[in-house]
Chains A and B, each alone.
Chain A
Amino acid sequence: MIENIDPGLVDWSRAQFALTAIYHWLFVPLTLGLSFIIAFMETIYVKTGKDEWRRLTRFWMTLFGINFAIGVATGIILEFEFGTNWSNYSWFVGDIFGAPLAIEGILAFFLESTFVAVMFFGWNKVNKKFHLLSTWLVAIGANLSALWILVANSWMQNPVGMTFNPETARNEMLNFWEVLFNPVAVDKFLHTISSGFVFASMFVMGISCWFLIKKREEIFAGRSILIAGIFGLASSLFLAFTGDSSARTISKVQPVKFAAFEALSEGKENAPLVAFGVLKESGKKIGSRDLPEFLFKIEIPDLLSVMTEGNKDAYVPGIIDRINGNPGKGIISVAEKTEKGKIAMNYLSDYKKARENKDNEQITNLLNKFKDKDFRDNYFRYFGYAYISSPEDVIPDIYGSFYSFHMMVMLGFLFILIFSLALIFLFNGTIIKQKWFLRIVLYSIPLPLIAGELGWILTEMGRQPWIIQDLMPVSVGVSNIGKASVQTTFWLFTFLFTALLITEISIMIKQIKTGPTH
């Protein structure tokens, strides 16, 4: 059914969206985390009245301001792309996507036009406590703003709380709270903001270490490391906790993605967790797809079973179970899902014919059918499978999923180590002497950002072929526009975002070299 869609158009549209999202995500995490670090510092300033803390706050606020200015509105381009390149998808998701994005837009507008202005213009003009309140509101508002985007994204990973209306060809929200408290949304929000906290902490610590290497502003640097070290350590531990919870949720709602990022071809009881591994081609296939095996791996016995089911003897299904089905474990095959999806699709086709024939009785019957809970839960939820011609088409890129997941996790543990060492060296008073460590922290600044991008690559690549899990493949969501126009805007964005990034880095480096001046 979808074999005739130009794969070039789909690939370029995906590449363009990925490029925009990846660049947008270069700016967002620092805003999310640095806003809280500034709020902590300013709170200490207001509590103690010591000018050194005011100096600290204002320096990091300057860097926050530069990042905020460069990053603001880069996300709007993603919304343009929805309407132009992904019009079928945008229409199909209806108000499920529209409502959270509208809330985010309103929140961001009020936040940016009021409290950010007080933060930057309000020193010496408003009283200390009101200024501090504004700083906290910016931090909370920026993170809440992220919530709504992540709620929308989570619905794409696990569509809940809606019903499809064949008359409008849109999904309509049935339960706002179900959409908001979608388990994927809760995990994703907490995991994403804590990854932003970790990046901001590493950023503050790295720059502070640079000051120490240069033997400048040692008291300022030490206090910055103290705040960033504590916040970074707490956030990186929380990141591991939310990551674990997130993986467990994915094992339930996106089981093929889960099996792919664990490279678990065959299901097993007492499943071990692969802490580190290298994949190679096995020659073993499912349909036309190769199922890799491990060239080398370090495993932790039983841990995957414990993490997914809380029981070391539990069976963890693999890719083969998910594709061919495993009736003994209550897993239905892709072929069965395809049959159910086709039944749902036929009802939509019947609805279209009934409209053309002006058969009002049939129209009413079919509208009621789509509202019926049993139909929604057992047929419409597999709607997208009607487009799947080969069962193995629902397997994402196993190599990409496995490596992006495992590199992200390894980096996560590295951050815990770095923050712990920083605090140990700071408390025993030897941090200035640990030149090797200061350099490691400085060069580690981009690592949390890389880990965050890997997380997004896993999230989005790992759910292929779906643009909306089980409901719509990417190739159906794309607009019928010329490939050339997508290619043109792809290169335009590459140029625009690279220019913005270079500008940000150059202004920031200049301000960092100037140091805290207030």
Chain B
Amino acid sequence: MKSLLRPLHSLFIFYVEGFRNMSSWGKRAWLIIIIKLFIIFAILKIFFFQDFLGRRYSNDAQKSEYVRNQILNPEDKDD
């Protein structure tokens, strides 16, 4: 078990040391990544980019029927 955990522990230490010894630009870049991911997933995805079909229909058969109707009558705006 110990021999199995040793590589994982080394990997963990590799990442921890990597983050700890990061240069100032690296820390700033990570801050930007975290802020960006927060905006993308916690704001944009939840409030502005909900799955149009998933929000209206619970299964694939209903989604198929809706899209089939849309293809046949694209000007039909009623859900």
Q: What residues of chain A have their CB less than 8 Å away from a CB belonging to chain B?
A: 1-5, 62, 65-66, 69-70, 72-74, 76-77, 80-81, 83-85, 87-88, 90-92, 117, 120-122, 125, 166-170, 345, 348-349, 352, 387, 472, 475-476, 479-481, 485, 488-489, 492, 496, 500, 503, 507, 510-511
Contact = CB atoms under 8 A, between A and B. Distances in A.
Nearest to B56: A87
A70 B48 contact: no
Given A87-B51, A476-B71, 20 more contacts: A4-B75, A5-B74, A65-B29, A66-B29, A69-B29, A70-B32, A72-B33, A72-B36, A73-B33, A77-B49, A84-B51, A87-B52, A87-B67, A88-B70, A117-B15, A122-B14, A169-B67, A352-B72, A480-B77, A500-B36
Interface string B47-63: 01111111000001001
A475 B28 CA distance: 42
Q: How large is the interface on B (under 10, 10 to 19, 20 to 34, 35 or more residues)?
A: 35 or more
Contact of A83 (B33, B40, B54, B65): B54
Contacts, number: 124
A503 B32 contact: yes
A120 B48 contact: no
A427 to B, nearest CB: 34
A169 B75 contact: no
Contacts of A472: 71
Contact of B48 (A90, A91, A489): A489
B32 A69 contact: yes
Nearest to B63: A91
Nearest to B52: A87
Contacts of B79: 480
A65 B25 contact: yes
A73 B17 CA distance: 25
A76 B32 CA distance: 16
Contacts of B26: 65, 120
A481 B69 CA distance: 16
B interface secondary structure, majority: helix
Q: A1, A65, A83, A348 — which one has the most chain B CB atoms within 10 A of its CB?
A: A83
Nearest to B51: A83
A92 B40 CA distance: 26
Ranked nearest first, the 6 interchain pairs of A and B with the lowest CB-CB distance are A121-B18, A69-B29, A80-B49, A87-B52, A4-B75, A169-B68
Interface in B31-47: 32-33, 36-37, 39-40, 44-45
B32 to A, nearest CB: 6
Given A65-B26, A69-B30, A83-B51, A169 B74 contact: no
B53 to A, nearest CB: 5
A72 B29 CA distance: 11
Contacts of B30: 69
Q: B29, B32, B64 — which one has the most chain A CB atoms within 10 A of its CB?
A: B29
21 contacts: A69-B29, A69-B32, A73-B36, A74-B36, A83-B54, A84-B50, A85-B52, A87-B51, A87-B67, A88-B74, A91-B64, A167-B64, A168-B64, A169-B68, A352-B69, A475-B74, A476-B74, A485-B48, A492-B48, A500-B32, A507-B29
